[in-house]
Amino acid sequence: MINHILKQIWNQRKSNGWLFGELLLVAVSLWYIVDFLLVTLYAFNAPMGFDIDHTYKLQFSAREEGAEGYLSPEEHPAVVGEDLWDAMNRLRLHAGVEAVTLSRFGVPYNNINNYMSLGRDTVVEKTACRIYYVTPEYFDVYRIPAAPGSNRQPGEGVTANSIVLTKDAADKIFEGEDAFGKIVYSGDNTWTTKVGAICGTVRGSEFKRPRPNVYLCMGEGDIKTINADFLPWAEVSVRVKPEADRDFADTFMKENSNQVEIGNLYLQSITPLSVLREDGIRDGKGEMNTRLSILLFLLINIFLGIVGTFWFRTRQRQGEMGLRMALGSTRNQLRSTVLGEGILLLTLAFIPTVVICVNIMLADLTNTVLMDNTVLRFVVGMLITYLLIVGMIIAGIWYPANEAARLQPAEALHYE
């Protein structure tokens, strides 16, 4: 059967040559589209490394001198940082609150990037890590798990000025060794600290890959020294119990905001992390939707082109089909032969397609921002591409071939 189809393809090589070239071009183009879609969908749905369900960001502010309700230092001697610490303690006592933390540039989906270079000693090349300033409860609020194989939770036993490393940061700095309890050095070797825990990898958003992160833990003393100018960067985050998370933001602002109003400190706003997420990924979603729309348009054109080509080609061969039926071919054999010819021609075209696509990947012309080029990624992309084109070929051949197979041989021979 296959030998017969190969001989037929060879005998019709003049017309099949153009079809071979079309299939080759379409396969390469479609593979590139499929690869981009697979990488984008995988990255968007991959684990983030944290959980923002039932979490809120509380923004505090302080009254300035001359404002209504302002208290002078004589009337209220405590500094803003001390008031903020007391407000956080009151939040912890709230019946619906599960955990409270304070961070600087640490709330997920923020666009501020601060980096710190760290190394295991003073000699080795340092690793650039994104730095977050957080209190140990940060890992409870956002439920950042311990690194695989670690039985110690990230915030457990962590003291002020110690650090928590993500798994990828620990692997790069200590080259696969156990980093727990070891000392790390800053880029200029003027500052050292101790690794208090290792947590899982964390991504900045659905459109970013995991990157090495370092969490510098703050204590009570760090918070109490905060002044009014620092408040815009002081992010208080809370995790609310699921059963209490019913219009928490509106209810708390209306009924309980006075409980955390201390001295000149007051609660300015409460924002669900889901809102911050939408704001944080809006640009990425817009760009992704634009690209997906373009790729979908190209995919539809490829589909119509392949289906139309094989449809027209099959309709033109009705005389040949009539002759085959006159010589004893059954209708099923006729359909199988025509379908087999299209699929075998595609298979032959896929041999140079694989070579071309491999070179495209080796030249880093694919999307490597979200995922590295791997053998598995390439094989999956090629397999899906092949199956998609097979489906298009079947869609273009099946109906006209089935229609021709229903004709009586004498009637079909009129087309010859």
pLDDT value at residue 393: 83
235 and 313 share one domain: no
pLDDT more than 90, % of the chain = 41
Segment holding 32, helix H or strand E: helix 13-45
Q: What does the alpha-carbon distance between residue 274 and residue 55 come to, in Å, rounded to a whole number? A: 8
pLDDT > 90? residue 124: no
pLDDT value at residue 270: 94
Q: What does the alpha-carbon distance between residue 311 and residue 398 come to, in Å, rounded to a whole number? A: 8
255 and 286 share one domain: no
pLDDT value at residue 391: 87
Task: Using pLDDT thresholds of 50, 70 and 90, give the confidence band for residue 343.
Answer: confident
pLDDT value at residue 360: 94
What are the pLDDT digits (tens) for 174-199?
A: 987 888 889 999 888 888 999 999 99
201 and 345 share one domain: no
259 and 301 share one domain: no
Structure tokens at 135: 């209190």
CB-based contact 107:272 (threshold 8 Å)? no
pLDDT value at residue 138: 95
Question: Both ends of the chain: CA-CA distance in Å?
Answer: 24
pLDDT > 90? residue 68: no
The DSSP output letter for 69 is T
Instruction: Give the angle subtended at the CA of 138 by the CAs of 135 and 143, to the nearest 5°.
Output: 160
3-state secondary structure of 311: helix
Calculate mean pLDDT across residues 392-407: 70
Tell me, yes or no, whether 218 lies in a domain.
yes
11 and 76 share one domain: no
DSSP 243-284: GG-SSHHHHHHHHTGGGG-BTTEEEEEEEEHHHHHHHHHHHH
Structure tokens at 60: 């505090």
Task: Using pLDDT thresholds of 50, 70 and 90, give the confidence band for residue 305.
Answer: confident
The DSSP output letter for 338 is H
Tell me, yes or no, whether 54 lies in a domain.
no
Q: What does the alpha-carbon distance between residue 326 and residue 340 come to, in Å, rounded to a whole number? A: 20
332 and 400 share one domain: yes
Q: Last residue of a domain, which of 263, 298, 331?
A: 263
pLDDT > 90? residue 88: yes
Tell me, yes or no, whether 62 lies in a domain.
no
What are the pLDDT digits (tens) for 187-236?
A: 888 889 999 999 999 998 888 889 999 999 999 999 999 988 888 889 99
285 and 255 share one domain: no
Buried b (16+ CB within 10 A) or exposed e, 372-410: ebeeebbeebbebbbebbeebbbebbbebbeebbebeee
Task: Using pLDDT thresholds of 50, 70 and 90, give the confidence band for residue 31.
Answer: very high
| Measured torsion, CA atoms of residues 184, 188, 191, 197, in degrees rounded to the nearest 10 | -30
Task: Using pLDDT thresholds of 50, 70 and 90, give the confidence band for residue 13.
Answer: low
Q: How many domains is the chain partitioned into structurally? A: 2
The DSSP output letter for 162 is -
CB-based contact 370:283 (threshold 8 Å)? no
pLDDT value at residue 306: 78
CB-based contact 231:64 (threshold 8 Å)? no
Task: Using pLDDT thresholds of 50, 70 and 90, give the confidence band for residue 54.
Answer: very high
90 and 167 share one domain: yes
pLDDT value at residue 203: 92
- Phi, psi of 102, deg, nearest 5: -125, 140
Tell me, yes or no, whether 268 lies in a domain.
no
Q: Are strands 127-134 and 115-119 parallel, antiparallel or unpaired?
A: antiparallel
Tell me, yes or no, whether 55 lies in a domain.
no
Beta carbons within 8 Å of 334's beta carbon, 6+ residues apart: 321, 324, 325, 401, 404, 405
Q: Lowest-pLDDT range, 109-123, 311-325, 332-346?
A: 311-325
For residue 394, give its domain range: 2-46+281-415
Calculate mean pLDDT across residues 44-69: 92
pLDDT value at residue 315: 65
Q: What does the alpha-carbon distance between residue 200 and residue 213 come to, in Å, rounded to a whole number? A: 10
What are the pLDDT digits (tens) for 96-117?
A: 899 999 999 899 998 888 898 9
185 and 327 share one domain: no
